[in-house]
A and B are shown apart, each in its own frame.
Chain A
């Protein structure tokens, strides 16, 4: 598996951890998981679920994210690009 795939899988796993106990059908979400899927428009995630995800992501990758960064981190693909740039978006 390429390094980028490992990173993608790590991001998805953080998302699934964040979605545990939410009202969403986790199996259905996993079935529609694509790196370019928009978290809100395509997966229908709620803002507090996403907030938990960003907090977990921040902790796992030591990103030091601010609330203004969240809208740009709208897909796994966008997050990977952010990680590969080495810095958060602001």
Chain B
């Protein structure tokens, strides 16, 4: 098959035309603070030394940085760890400068409604699991975050919940799905990806098949609530990591001389506004275990060339990109999945 042959199929052409309008998204990532109320088991942010910085909380410094980023061609910002909701003035300065982006938050503190970024609210388990996997910074068991998140973000169209499957919480998603659907929200999936040098027992290597089955079941049972695709489930629960399946375009792993695509433009800034040249969106994650939804959004999407050999593969890629855009772009609506499970 070839791309032009595949685009002669009307439903594939239609979907490709839909997603192509968003090829202009060019992202970088920004740790806007090194502070968080929680310490989650296996959190990559608190691995390595990137959290050992002095936060720059001056909104004007952030505005200046993002103006520079905009001039550099960045059109989309990922505002992340530790906990961005703790620095509302920084978020506002970022939003006023580059208005497209996502904030990754634990949802315990509400982000001002006029900051119209996509909000990814992390969920680690049900009422039994969440307090175990996520502790307060002092070490006490953490709160069950979901009820607080639902209270803070009732009827908030910026929100999508992100349930991270780990090696111990597969069935806990049932309670979460029910509560998210009852609240009229949407949810997508992440797969726990172990940081380098970390001793977490939440690894997924022995539960990948069960996670994939649960994802498929969730898509069938909650079609209006779950934003995901069968192809996404397949590639994120493959025995091979995302990098193993597709290579990786981030500067940390770039194999093409940093001259093309994300390898050329992506940066991950720390809370003191410095950045590492060896960055990716999930730094300190073990690349051999990386199944993270954020990295997949770049890794799989950037490899259209690997998905044009068969019609099924191209259908899977289109579903993946359509899903990625629905998760990351506020107001983008996902279409029906085109890829049939084999």
Binding site for B on A (CB under 8 A): 21-24, 40, 44, 46-52, 54-56, 59, 67-68, 70-71, 74
Contact = CB atoms under 8 A, between A and B. Distances in A.
B259 interface: yes
Highest count of chain A CB atoms <10 Å: which of B2, B17, B255: B2
Contacts of A48: 20, 23, 301-302, 304
Task: Give the interface size bracket for B toward A.
Answer: 20 to 34
For chain B, what secondary structure do more than half of its interface residues adopt (helix, strand, loop), or is it mixed? loop
B257 interface: yes
Interface stretch (B144-152, B260-268, B281-289, B331-339): B260-268
Given A46-B26, A47-B261, A71-B256, 15 more contacts: A22-B20, A22-B21, A22-B23, A46-B24, A47-B302, A48-B302, A55-B2, A55-B3, A56-B3, A59-B2, A67-B256, A67-B303, A68-B256, A70-B260, A71-B257
Contacts of B48: none
Instruction: Specify which of B3, B73, B264 lies most central, judged by the most chain A CB atoms within 10 Å of its CB.
Output: B3
B199 interface: no
B170 to A, nearest CB: 34
Nearest to A44: B73
A82 to B, nearest CB: 15
Contact of A21 (B21, B259, B264, B304): B21
B3 to A, nearest CB: 5
19 contacts: A21-B20, A22-B20, A23-B23, A40-B264, A46-B24, A47-B23, A47-B260, A47-B262, A48-B304, A50-B261, A51-B304, A52-B3, A55-B2, A55-B304, A55-B305, A59-B2, A59-B4, A68-B255, A71-B260
Nearest to A24: B24
A15 to B, nearest CB: 14
Contacts of A67: 247, 256, 303, 305
B308 interface: yes
Nearest to B13: A21
Nearest to B18: A21
Q: Kindly name the residue among B26, B260, B261 whose own CB sees the greatest number of chain A CB atoms within 10 A.
A: B260
Q: Which of A47, A49, A52, A70 has the most CB of B within 10 A?
A: A47
Contacts of B24: 22-24, 46
Given A46-B23, A46-B26, A56-B3, A51 B17 contact: no
A40 B256 CA distance: 15
A67 B254 CA distance: 12
A49 B302 CA distance: 10
Nearest to A65: B305
Contacts of B2: 55, 59
Nearest to A66: B305
B113 to A, nearest CB: 28
B3 A59 contact: yes
Interface string B221-239: 0000000000000000000
